[in-house]
């Protein structure tokens, strides 16, 4: 499998010009405020999960997301933990769902409260999901990239990113959780969600211990569509191949959702990863977000001979070490 993008020395200095709307911050401030108002009288619920796992506590969380819509998550924690524990919130990859309770145990076994968010409308590609998306969209290519692409207010990822922030709101209220020791992570789509959520949480909730996006998708949409050889970025290409006069509309909407624009607002310690043989997420799109970070404490782990699988469990070990070094609780 060959390298799929620029040489590493060029990637490290890659800072493309990205469209950034003048009202970007106001758009998202209003979006978060509207979601909080819509779900303000809805209390998150936490109930025991039906699982054969007994060595950990596994619970089913329902919380109000975008427009107050109910969104599901699994909460997994060590048994008989004393005091309030640090938290790792995880967002999932494209077309995946939260899966079965007790399916993801590594973070809890490492001593953290682990919260994995179901991605609305997804979960039928792998994992299995339990959160519908009740909001419709205009004509679009199968998948999520062009769902609502005519207007940023209608785009699918506006709802998902808002869910991600509202999950942190909910997590901060849970028993046994230290609200000042929360880190965000996710792979691929989940990495892109983590980037957006980190910027919005820091702007509207409070500081984070760390953000750890892994082979992050949803960054530099416009250039990603020109370089990527496979989906999901190719969904944008197929849409524009039919809607030939819609490019300006597409890229304007995308600019409100672009991880590069969110990354500039992140100040938390950041650990990124990138794979140089990745055919799904072009490495230049990850470096565009990494190089735009507002964080002064940042690292990127490069997997030169891997595709979209990235560093696998080896990278998870790297994340644990990074988080422990930055968690002063």
188 belongs to the catalytic site: yes
pLDDT for res 138 = 67
- Tens of pLDDT, residues 98-129: 999 999 999 999 999 999 999 999 988 878 88
pTM for this prediction: 0.97
Please give the Cα distance from 50 to 230 (Å, whole number).
Answer: 38
pLDDT > 90 in the chain, percent = 88
278 belongs to the catalytic site: yes
Q: Which one of 163, 214, 278, 295 is the catalytic residue?
A: 278
124 belongs to the catalytic site: no
Q: Which one of 147, 188, 255, 273 is the catalytic residue?
A: 188
Fold classified for 8-326 = Rossmann fold (3.40.50)
Q: How far is CA 183 from the centre of its chain?
A: 12
- Tens of pLDDT, residues 233-259: 999 999 999 999 999 999 999 999 999
Confidence of residue 142 (pLDDT cuts 50, 70, 90): confident
pLDDT for res 285 = 97
Residues near 163 by beta carbon (within 8 Å), at least 6 away in sequence: 65, 66, 69, 71, 117, 119, 120
Cα torsion 34, 115, 292, 199: sign: positive
pLDDT for res 299 = 98
The number of CA neighbours under 13 Å toward the Cβ of 104 is 26
pLDDT for res 124 = 81
Confidence of residue 141 (pLDDT cuts 50, 70, 90): low
């Amino acid at each position: 499998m060959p390298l799929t993008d620029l040489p590493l020395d060029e990637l490290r200095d890659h800072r493309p010009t990205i469209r950034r709307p003048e009202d970007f911050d106001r758009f998202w401030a209003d979006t978060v405020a509207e979601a909080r108002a819509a779900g303000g009288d809805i209390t998150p619920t936490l109930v025991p999960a039906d699982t054969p796992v007994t060595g950990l506590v596994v619970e089913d969380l329902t919380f109000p997301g975008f427009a107050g819509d109910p969104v599901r998550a699994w909460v997994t924690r060590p048994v008989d933990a004393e005091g309030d524990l640090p938290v790792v919130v995880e967002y999932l990859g494209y077309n995946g769902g939260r899966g079965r309770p007790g399916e993801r145990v590594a973070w809890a076994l490492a001593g953290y409260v682990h919260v994995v968010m179901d991605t609305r409308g997804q979960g039928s590609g792998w994992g299995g999901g339990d959160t519908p998306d009740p909001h419709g969209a205009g004509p679009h290519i199968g998948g999520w990239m062009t769902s609502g692409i005519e207007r940023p207010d209608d785009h699918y990822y506006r709802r998902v990113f808002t869910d991600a922030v509202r999950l942190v709101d909910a997590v901060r209220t849970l028993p046994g959780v230290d609200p000042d020791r929360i880190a965000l992570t996710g792979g691929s789509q989940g990495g892109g969600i983590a980037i957006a959520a980190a910027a919005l949480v820091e702007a509207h909730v409070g500081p984070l211990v760390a953000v750890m996006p892994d082979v992050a998708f949803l960054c530099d949409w416009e250039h990603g569509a020109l370089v990527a050889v496979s989906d999901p970025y190719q969904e944008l290409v197929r849409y524009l191949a039919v809607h030939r006069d819609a490019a300006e509309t597409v890229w304007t909407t995308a600019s409100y959702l672009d991880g590069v624009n969110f990354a500039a607002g992140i100040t938390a310690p950041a650990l990124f990863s990138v794979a140089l043989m990745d055919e799904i997420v072009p490495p230049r799109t990850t470096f565009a977000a990494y190089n735009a970070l507002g964080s002064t404490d940042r690292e990127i782990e490069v997997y030169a001979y891997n595709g979209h699988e990235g560093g696998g469990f080896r990278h998870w070990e790297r994340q644990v070490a990074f988080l422990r070094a930055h968690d002063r609780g």
